[in-house]
Amino acid sequence: MRVYLLIPLALLLSCRSVKNSNTPKSNEQLLTDVRILSSDEYQGRRTGTKGAEMSRSYISGRLKKLGLKSFSGYTNYEQPFKAKEKNGSLSDAKNLIAYIPGKSDQAIVISAHYDHLGVVNNEIFNGADDNASGVAGLLKIAAWYAKAKPDNTIIFAFFDAGELEWQGSKYFVNHSPIMLEKILVNINLDMISHNDQNILYVAGTLKNPQLKPFITYTNQELKIRTGHDNPKQSVEDWTNQSDQGAFNAKKVPFLYFGVEDHKDYHKESDEYQNINPDFLISTSNAILEIVDNIDKQRDIQALYREKLQMKKQ
């Protein structure tokens, strides 16, 4: 059940303000980003490979064109680290971290892992939905705020080694360019383009109920359902099944947007031609609206305390 009561007027106004993000030009760029990153040329973007390097070059090029800032000490947005492979060897890995300063030094971290499985048995696993779609959605949000300017500082984190037990996000939270106490919330995008029923899930509201009122959006054809965050239910608990798990371990509130597993999940058939383009456009626009809802409410915890107090009265 979505919560519509006690939502500040700023949230409702912000929903209307981002509707115009659904333009032919922005949608074309969104789909272009997925198509390019999931093409054979990128060889499945496996950590430590030429394909991963090409992916970073493409993403950093987009970030530079949008005018996003890089933190001091980071060259070309890169946060390098060593990722441990399943055979115990180490690979050179790099997160890409960019930001847009806000009126507040509190931050929203929006994330997506850009790596995938690479080449397996001479087959390229291109990972269009997993997770070129999340990267494209993240770039779309970055493009909006590059012009709209946020109230809070927004950090855009493109994590490496997501397919290696989320090592990129784990490294980030242990080597964050800002104090973790300044992070209001992590919003993670992982597989947002492939569902035939127009259903996107958001996990995290069970543990972080203060975030539930912000899940409002204008496209009523899209169905965003809360769930996959309760270990007592029969469905899979996603709380620690993507990069938001690293933030959860540090007690940073999170929302995780993704679809349930589909027939192309972790298969060579996860190709651009098998995603649902209209669904991706809908999900990325809705997530942008939700991010904007949160950005307009600077003190999320204060809002939650206010709601609890009103319930007691």
Is the backbone peptide bond immediately before 198 cis, with ω within 30 degrees of 0?
no
Token pair of 96, please?
A: 């890409």
Name 238's Cβ contacts closer than 8 Å, sequence gap at least 6: 201, 203, 228, 229, 256, 258
Is the backbone peptide bond immediately before 131 cis, with ω within 30 degrees of 0?
yes
31: closest CA among 266, 285, 297? 285
Cα 283 to Cα 90, 267, 300: the distances in Å are 35, 23, 23
Token pair of 54, please?
A: 């090409």
pLDDT of 258: 98
Cross-strand bridge partners of residue 78: 75, 96
Q: What whole-number distance in Å separates Cα of residue 52 and Cα of residue 164?
A: 14
* Structural domain spans, the chain: 9-178+190-312
Task: Give CA angle at 52 (50, 55), nearest 5°.
Answer: 110
The structure's pTM equals 0.91
pLDDT of 1: 32
The amino acid sitting at 162 is G
Q: Are 62 and 33 in contact (CB under 8 A)?
A: yes
pLDDT of 33: 98
pLDDT of 23: 83
Token pair of 124, please?
A: 């390229």
> How many CB atoms are closer than 10 A to CB 155?
24
Across the chain, which has 313 residues, the per-10-residue mean pLDDT values are 36 53 88 98 98 98 98 97 96 98 94 98 98 98 96 97 98 98 97 97 96 95 96 90 97 97 97 98 98 84 53 51
The amino acid sitting at 167 is Q
- Token pair 């493409």 is found at 58
pLDDT of 287: 98
Which class in CATH covers the domain with range 9-178+190-312?
A: alpha beta
Q: What whole-number distance in Å separates Cα of residue 73 and Cα of residue 94?
A: 14
The amino acid sitting at 217 is Y
pLDDT of 171: 98
pLDDT of 2: 30
The secondary structure of 162-206 as a DSSP string is TTTTSHHHHHHHHS-SS-GGGEEEEEEE---S--TT-EEEEE-TT
pLDDT of 288: 98
Cα 186 to Cα 242, 252, 260, 304: the distances in Å are 12, 7, 20, 17
pLDDT of 6: 36
Q: Specify the 3-state DSSP secondary structure of 67.
A: coil
Backbone angles phi, psi at 277, to 5 degrees: -55, -45
Q: What whole-number distance in Å separates Cα of residue 42 and Cα of residue 272?
A: 13
105: closest CA among 184, 34, 26, 38? 184
Q: Are 98 and 175 in contact (CB under 8 A)?
A: no
Name 77's Cβ contacts closer than 8 Å, sequence gap at least 6: 60, 63, 68, 70, 96, 97, 98
pLDDT of 265: 97
